[in-house]
Amino acid sequence: MTTVELLKAIKRNLREKRSAIAEKMIEGRESDFESYQKDVGVAQGLEDACAIIDETLKQLDEEDA
């Protein structure tokens, strides 16, 4: 597995986790407001991590060009 493939796999897993959190919120399975706030923060962190992976992939692509 190449570095690029690994990063893409990690990003896919992060997106799946974020989707699971969103589904939980949509279905109303939050136990309280604190849990909701925590999940919002986790989802934002996962999105930030995906953005970092995108930047890294772009840098790797530019280095290869």
- Which residue shows structure tokens 């897993």? 13
Q: pLDDT tens for residues 7-20?
A: 999 999 999 999 99
Q: What global pTM score does this model have?
A: 0.88
Q: What is the dihedral of CA 56, 59, 61, 64, to 10 degrees?
A: -130
pLDDT in tens, 6-63: 999 999 999 999 999 999 999 999 999 999 999 999 999 999 999 999 999 999 999 8
User: How far is residue 13 from each of residues 20, 22, 31, 33, 64, measured CA to CA in Å?
Assistant: 11, 14, 25, 26, 25
Query: Which residues form the domain of 18?
Result: 3-64
Structural domains in the chain (count) = 1
Q: For residue 30, which of 42, 46, 44 has the smallest C-alpha distance? A: 42
